[in-house]
Chains A and B, each alone.
Chain A
Amino acid sequence: MSPLLFVAQRATAFVLALAVAVHLGTILYAVRGGLTAAEILARTHGNVGFALFYGVFVVAVAIHAPIGLRNILREWTRWRGRTLDLALALFAVLLLGLGLRAVFAVVTT
């Protein structure tokens, strides 16, 4: 990968290390005794801090995951070049779109 992709991959890795630690801790805590929609939404509804945190999380993932997949596809298949980059850019947009929509869903419902 190019220096730009490498920087993006490692920088988002740092961001995700923090975000995942918080997310895992939250899941472990919240999942006690079962999980209902009402419980989740009670925590997330109108929560600006939550929206910001998970917004950043989604952006970081949308950058980090496609770059990782690009390495795997280039190394383990014959796919490379512009079509591969385009496909992964589309995947990045998909993750970003679906992710931000999910954040929006739990914060506004």
Chain B
Amino acid sequence: MTEDRNGDLTEDKVHESWTGKLDAYLDGELDSSEMQELDGHLRECSGCTAEALRRLQWKRAVHSAGQCYTSDPALREQIQKSISPARPAWWHWRPAFAATAAVLLLFAAARIVQLEIVQSKARVVQNNQAQNNLDQRSGIVGELADLHVATLASANPVDVVSSDRHNVKPWFAGKIPFNFDLPELQGSQFELIGGRVTYMEQSPGAQLLFRVRKHQISVFIFQTRALPVNFARAGELDARSFHLESWQRGGLQYFVIGDVAPEDLRALGDLLEK
């Protein structure tokens, strides 16, 4: 190392000591104190700064030139496959499986929801229908009770007054659009009083009045198709303080209504059904 007469390093030697550290400086390998020292020198020394810039350009050029080889993508794929953990064949199809399963689940869920909606609607319709039927039945039973009460209150409860079935039955011919049979009541507790034409839901029917002990019983006969609701299984019904029996036969709907015991109604019904 050359020194001048004062023992200081010559200018060339100073530059040499700094430029010797430039590569490590640009590689980021100097410690922080050396880095600061060299930074300070570079701010004052244009020669060293120019040299640092040249070396930086050189580094960039080598960096760029050194990245020139690219592999065949097939090699990458082959290596990737070889180092992937061993998995069953279906594993590679799992996205497809997952997608299919998701679609199927969605379909299933949609179908369940759809069925539930349809069933729910059907239940609502059924409920509404049942309610309607009930309402209509109640309406008809109530109307029958009104007709029976009106008959009992009337000064002329029947239009044909006869206890003979052979008089009463022919009287209805041409007045109502159907025929019916009247039973022989001789020997029974029931007595025929007579009959009249009546209407239900704008359709004509027969009302027959019977007596049992001191009670009067009305028998209504209509065409089944004339009624808005089916009374096929109506059986025993109650309307206010009256009991009611009903059945169907030969396209006709029979109702027996009165304030007697249900057994009496059934007994009269049995006679009429024979």
A and B, one complex? no
Which A residues are within 8 Å of any B CB, using their own CB? none
Which B residues are within 8 Å of any A CB, using their own CB? none
